[in-house]
Amino acid sequence: MSHLRRMTGSAAAIAAVLTAAACAGSTAPAQQKITAVDPYPTSKPDVTINLWHGFSEGSENDAFNAMVASFEKAHPNIHVKVTGNITDTQIQQGIKAGGSQSPDVAVSFTTDDVGTYCSTGQWINLKQDLAAAQIDVAKTFPAPLINYTQYQGDQCALPLENDAYGLYYNKTFFQQAGVTDPPKTLSELQADALKLTQKNPDGSFKRIGFFPSFAYFEQVPGHFTSVFHLKWQTPTHNSLLASDPGFTAMLNWQKSFEDAILNQTPKSTAKQLTDFMNKSMGAGEFTAGQNPFETGAVAMSMDGEWRNANLKAETPNLSYGTAPFPVQDSDAASYGGGYVTGTVIGISSRSAHQDADWELVKYLTTNTDTLVAFANAIQNVPSTIAALASPQLTQNPNFQTFVKVSGNPNSATTPASPNGGQYQQTAQTWIATWEAGQVSNLPSALSALDTQIDKDTNAGVRPSGS
Amino acid sequence: MATPVLALPGRGRKRAGLPAALRAKRRREGLAALGFLSPWLLGFSVFFAYPLLAAVYFSFYYYDQFNAPVWVGLKNWDYILFNFPDFVTGLQNTLWLVVVMVTLQTVFGLGVAMLITKIKRGGNIFRTLFYLPYLAPPVISTLVFVYLFDAGGPINAILAHVGVHNPPGWFNSPTWFKPSLTLLSLWGIGNTVVIFFASLLDVPKEQMEAAMLDGAGPVKRFRFVTLPAIQPVILFSVVTGVIYTMQYYTQAIVAGEVASGHVATAGTTLDIGYPLGSSLTVPQLIYQQGILNANTGPACVLSILLFVMTMLFTLILLRRKNGLVGGD
Amino acid sequence: MAAVMSPPVTRHAGINRTARSAARRRRALEWIAVHSLAIVAAVFFAGPFFFLVVTSVMPDNQALSGALWPSHWQWSNFRSVWDRAGFLTWYKNTLMYAIPVTVLTVVSSVPVAYALAKFKFRYRRLAMIVLVSAMMIPPQVTVMPMYILWTKQFGLGGTLWPLIVPTAFGDAYSIFLLRQFLLTVPKEYIDAAKVDGCGEIRTLLRVVVPMIRPAIAAVALFQFFYAWNDYFGPQVYVGANPGNWTLALGLETFHAAHHVDWNLMMAANLMVIAPIVVVFFFAQKVFVEGVTLTGVKG
């Protein structure tokens, strides 16, 4: 055998392996046709569904399992194997890997990824299933929730509980500082924050009224979408941060807020503020009893409705109130709304029994009794119109604040992108340089940021026309 | 590849002058060697050669690991090389680590090794003590260090006791992140110390005594006797240090994640590079692009670039003289 | 030294005494310097272990309060970690990963190392070049195609098989270490065995393997610890399947979404480090010899 022949031989072998790899995507996932209202009646053989979700805390797990148990009782031939504490990356890896271990139904905490699930076809479009079950989406779910569960007309997810954001304030500190009502506008927020801030003589912080930073736990730029009416993207997913006056307004608001806090006598340095924030945040957002709002390091903060549950469990003696987040002074009429997002659920296109999966998803997302019980247990806002109106829902005012935010027409969410939440991530990373004072020419920096986000989207999304 | 070529040892080139018996023995040995080597050669082809070639292949495709790959030409290369600032940040961080961390590791490792040669009593305990951190799983040592250097953690508490009330932000500061990592790497220096220690014991005693008789002080003795004797070991340690630094992954990603307070649990996106990109390294970008974002093409471009960078330094180890490979 | 240079004087005894006491003083100073440096270094190396242990028994609200000593020793932390969902599974998974990897590596690497060290054949140098390169290439270089191959072609995503199977084909670092050791084994022993009529495989098993036992022990230990500590491999392959998480993965996500209890985390860390420390104390010599042999950092 000649040297050359041997070479070609191995080259052919390699080519064969490469071709095999290239065909890796050919195990085409398919959507099963569903026409019946009840596509998997009890007469059908036993089946087991892999259900992956992100709940990790004991009480949340218990509440979720209770909901699943009530489903299994109603459908004795459908068994659900529940796996918790799962991230979105894991869900996507699991679906791609396929096989008997992979998730058939998945619960995601990140509405940002709905675009990815829909555009890649990892989750099936539920339109026909909804039609077969005679569920009118518009009459079942509040409008913003329908928005964040679909992508370019594909309803590939359904809402399972809703998260709304608002202002948490420490009533004891309010009383001490003589603040009577929660702020309704951003200038009121700033004025109150200054009253509530306490410094040492050297300018270092003892307590801050409000952290003027997007690096503070839940105060990420995306959560200000409703306050500044942020657009983020064109319908064809081109970034428009430079041309969106709201985005610039948001940045300038942060800067002037920070300056006001620093310049309040005794004057502080930016480092003193960063140090104080790092120290307060050090233990992590969810360390029991160590959240800055719980320790009293901060008097007001933006947070989700679920914080109520943490506060109740961890610092039951804390006297606090909740309110919708303040709005721009020029925009007082929009007060009452907030950022809304939520937990979503979808069916893997790799699943071999989508009829049974749909029974589960239908039950979890539309059964009023279990939804209300679940919402009460984990202190989330329920996700259907019927459940929101249920008298069984917790009437606690601090919780009702968020129920109202959730139903407010001024509430908004971040747009779905085929590249997931990466555009927000990139913006947030850039904002850290803005906060560090490293940006000299804002308009050109924002254009550069737009270009980068578009480049990332272009590299991360399937080329069009293929 | 190497497989078929190895199958016929001694062929091709004329082996004039070798007696027939010796030639037969050579052939027998060659065949036996092939027998012993073949599983590994198969493994190498499947687990190294194939993925290297496949990475080149995928670098020209868009592939989301779900739908079929789409040919995109040089798009991924253009993106990574010219339109992906994170890659530049990753290279800059790696350069910093290579210059500062590898240097300090070498100096500190040598220092501790020399210290050990001086300690007669209790040396055993000391040796165990400095070697143990090396054995600690990187995830654990990183978690411990992030905890120690946390704003409310023990180190700052101790610093406050001694009057430092304005400590750096450690793992939360873009300026101090890499220095903190460097401290972590110095803590786990045990292996380098053992290597240096062994080479220090091999420094010829006669030369040392001769230098002493000539009146050379400790500095001169180190400069003119010890250093030349252990110079190959130092070079070797630096080169492998550089190679491992280019692969720096676990400590950087775990420290960044835990310090940011946003550990990738359900509902959070993994934000690598915290704070402000200071913990970003090229291997993390491969993980981010290829596994997290399921964007195979750009990840494979990064893989190939990392391979090239690694091989540049590996070549030093492959030299005939003083290399790892030895002569023929 | 100084005495040699000084002019000859009559009172030799006195000079000698001064020189000797100067030397003694210098030696004493050096002793003090060396040992104070050693103490500083010891504190540096032991400090993190100290805080690891101390924090692991702190009550819940004390960790991260800057406390340096537990207000009371909460031994139940270890119990809590043990009872926490997952910990036992991670422990089991880590063993299920580390043990097969160790066994397979030893079995598959010894013959390769033997051939590379003791047989003369063309392209031996090439084989060594390939070996050293394979040793240096980071897993991130080959991970993408392998990940796709394992998960899509073989459907083994979410399992530890993609990390175990390759070790059945020899591990470059282990081969290298064994080969270095084999180079020190005199060829005469092997030749003698062959003269006695042993075939290659019998020679390997009966003569070579018993002689390289220390190196095999080192390889086994290094490989076991490698798997025990591995983070990247499990992160890629079983990251999506918590049921198969190993300790390295589990520990990091130990703070479940709503709790970062540093005291429990340190307790867990301690429970993972403890077996390593125990093994190390029993096998210290094996380690040090192994490291010195290759001069390569693992």
Residue B12 has pLDDT above 60, yes or no: no
Mean pLDDT to the nearest integer, A252-270 = 96
Lowest mean pLDDT among B60-64, C68-72, C189-193, C253-257: C253-257
Interfacial B residues in 57-96 facing A (CB < 8 Å): 57-58, 61-70, 72, 75-76, 79, 83-85
Confidence (pLDDT) at B269: 54
Is C73 contained in some domain? no
Q: Nearest residue on chain C to B141, judged by CA atoms?
A: C48
Residue B164 has pLDDT above 70, yes or no: yes
Interfacial A residues in 23-42 facing B (CB < 8 Å): 23-26, 29
Nearest CA distance, A294 vs chain C (angstrom): 13
**B126 Cβ under 8 Å from any chain A Cβ:** no
- Residues on chain C touching B150 (C-beta within 8 angstroms): 64
Confidence (pLDDT) at B321: 66
Confidence (pLDDT) at C298: 40
Domain co-membership, C46 together with C106: no
Is C66 contained in some domain? no
The first and second tokens of residue A92, run together, are 């996507």
Judge: A24–B79 Cβ closer than 8 Å, yes or no. no
Confidence (pLDDT) at B17: 61
Is C266 contained in some domain? yes
| Structure confidence by residue, pLDDT tens digits, A378-405 | 889 999 999 998 999 988 999 999 999 9
Mean pLDDT to the nearest integer, C264-282 = 88
Domain co-membership, C106 together with C247: yes
Is C207 contained in some domain? yes
| Structure confidence by residue, pLDDT tens digits, B29-63 | 888 888 999 999 999 999 999 999 999 999 999 99
Higher pLDDT: A9 or C228? It is: C228
Mean pLDDT to the nearest integer, A190-218 = 95
Mean pLDDT to the nearest integer, C159-167 = 95
Mean pLDDT to the nearest integer, C59-79 = 81
Query: Over pLDDT 90: what percentage of chain A?
Result: 68
For an interface test with C, give the residue of A55, A61, A90, A315 to mutate (most C CBs within 10 A). A90
B291: nearest CB among C44, C149, C236 = C236
| Structure confidence by residue, pLDDT tens digits, B69-114 | 999 999 999 999 999 999 999 999 999 999 999 999 999 999 999 9
| Amino acid type, A81 | K
Chains that touch C (3 or more CB pairs under 8 A): A, B
| Structure confidence by residue, pLDDT tens digits, C13-43 | 555 667 778 888 888 888 888 889 989 999 9
ipTM of the complex: 0.87
Domain co-membership, C92 together with C240: yes
Lowest mean pLDDT among A155-164, A183-192, A415-424: A415-424
For an interface test with A, give the residue of B50, B60, B64 to mutate (most A CBs within 10 A). B64
Judge: A98–C155 Cβ closer than 8 Å, yes or no. yes
Mean pLDDT to the nearest integer, A43-56 = 92
Q: Nearest residue on chain C to B311, judged by CA atoms?
A: C133
Higher pLDDT: C6 or A16? It is: A16
Domain that holds residue C41: 2-56
Residue B264 has pLDDT above 70, yes or no: no
CATH number at residue C202: 1.10.3720.10
Nearest CA distance, C153 vs chain A (angstrom): 7
Interfacial A residues in 120-149 facing B (CB < 8 Å): 120-122
Confidence (pLDDT) at C1: 36
- Residues on chain C touching A25 (C-beta within 8 angstroms): 152
Residue A136 has pLDDT above 90, yes or no: yes
The first and second tokens of residue A99, run together, are 């096989």
Higher pLDDT: A30 or C236? It is: C236
Confidence (pLDDT) at A284: 66
| Structure confidence by residue, pLDDT tens digits, B130-153 | 888 998 999 999 999 998 998 778
Q: Nearest residue on chain C to B324, judged by CA atoms?
A: C132
Chains that touch B (3 or more CB pairs under 8 A): A, C
pLDDT band, residue A228 (cuts 50/70/90): very high
Domain co-membership, C244 together with C277: yes
Confidence (pLDDT) at B320: 67
Domain co-membership, C274 together with C129: yes
Residue A18 has pLDDT above 70, yes or no: no
Higher pLDDT: A105 or C284? It is: A105
Is C213 contained in some domain? yes
**B201 Cβ under 8 Å from any chain A Cβ:** no
Three-class SS of chain B: CHHHHHCCCCCCCCCCCCCHHHHHHHHHHHHHHHHHHHHHHHHHHHHHHHHHHHHHHHCCEECCCCCCCEECCCHHHHHHHHCCHHHHHHHHHHHHHHHHHHHHHHHHHHHHHHHHHHCCCCHHHHHHHHHHHHHCCHHHHHHHHHHHCCCCCHHHHHHHHCCCCCCCCHHHCCCCHHHHHHHHHHHCCHHHHHHHHHHHHCCCHHHHHHHHHCCCCHHHHHHHHHHHHHHHHHHHHHHHHHHHHHCCCHHHHHHHHHHHCCCCCCCCCCCCCCCCCCCCCHHHHHHHHHHHCCCHHHHHHHHHHHHHHHHHHHHHHCCCCCCCCCCC
Architecture of domain B85-325: Orthogonal Bundle (1.10)
Judge: A101–C60 Cβ closer than 8 Å, yes or no. no
A97: nearest CB among C151, C257, C260 = C151
Whether the CB-CB separation of A40 and A78 falls below 8 Å is answered with yes
Is C286 contained in some domain? yes
What's the mean per-residue pLDDT of chain B? 86
Residues linked to residue A48 through DSSP beta bridges, in sequence order? A79
Higher pLDDT: A58 or B183? It is: B183
- Residues on chain C touching B219 (C-beta within 8 angstroms): none
- Residues on chain B touching A202 (C-beta within 8 angstroms): none
Domain co-membership, C16 together with C105: no
**B50 Cβ under 8 Å from any chain A Cβ:** yes
Interfacial A residues in 404-443 facing B (CB < 8 Å): 420-422, 425, 428-429, 432-433, 436
Residue A217 has pLDDT above 70, yes or no: yes
Q: Nearest residue on chain C to B29, judged by CA atoms?
A: C119
Judge: A94–C241 Cβ closer than 8 Å, yes or no. yes
Higher pLDDT: C209 or A286? It is: C209
Is C107 contained in some domain? yes
Domain co-membership, C117 together with C195: yes
Confidence (pLDDT) at B120: 76
Nearest CA distance, B50 vs chain A (angstrom): 7
Mean pLDDT to the nearest integer, B212-231 = 87
**A24 Cβ under 8 Å from any chain C Cβ:** yes
Residue A294 has pLDDT above 60, yes or no: yes
Residue C296 has pLDDT above 60, yes or no: no
Sole residue written with tokens 């914080």:
A307
| C-alpha torsion B76→B77→B81→B82, nearest 10 | -70
Residue A28 has pLDDT above 80, yes or no: no
| Structure confidence by residue, pLDDT tens digits, A187-199 | 999 999 999 999 9
Query: Over pLDDT 90: what percentage of chain C?
Result: 38
Confidence (pLDDT) at B52: 96
What's the mean per-residue pLDDT of chain A? 89
pLDDT band, residue B13 (cuts 50/70/90): very low
Mean pLDDT to the nearest integer, C246-268 = 75
Residue A424 has pLDDT above 50, yes or no: yes
Mean pLDDT to the nearest integer, C118-134 = 89
Is C70 contained in some domain? no
Nearest CA distance, A163 vs chain B (angstrom): 12
Which range among B10-14, B106-110, C191-195 has the greatest average pLDDT? B106-110
Domain count of chain C? Answer: 2
For an interface test with A, give the residue of C83, C147, C154, C259 to mutate (most A CBs within 10 A). C259
Domain co-membership, C179 together with C39: no
Residue C125 has pLDDT above 60, yes or no: yes
Mean pLDDT to the nearest integer, C65-74 = 81
**B106 Cβ under 8 Å from any chain C Cβ:** no
What's the mean per-residue pLDDT of chain C? 84
Confidence (pLDDT) at A25: 41
Domain co-membership, C144 together with C179: yes
Nearest CA distance, A58 vs chain C (angstrom): 10
For an interface test with C, give the residue of A102, A343, A379 to mutate (most C CBs within 10 A). A102
pLDDT band, residue B326 (cuts 50/70/90): low
Judge: C239–A27 Cβ closer than 8 Å, yes or no. no
Judge: B295–A460 Cβ closer than 8 Å, yes or no. yes
Interfacial A residues in 234-293 facing B (CB < 8 Å): 274-275, 278-279, 281-285
Domain co-membership, C258 together with C111: yes
Residue C209 has pLDDT above 70, yes or no: yes
Mean pLDDT to the nearest integer, B159-163 = 90
Cα gap B320→B315, rounded to integer Å = 10
Domain co-membership, C172 together with C290: yes
Domain co-membership, C229 together with C148: yes
B328: nearest CB among C37, C124, C256 = C124
| Amino acid type, A47 | V
B54: nearest CB among A18, A421, A422 = A18
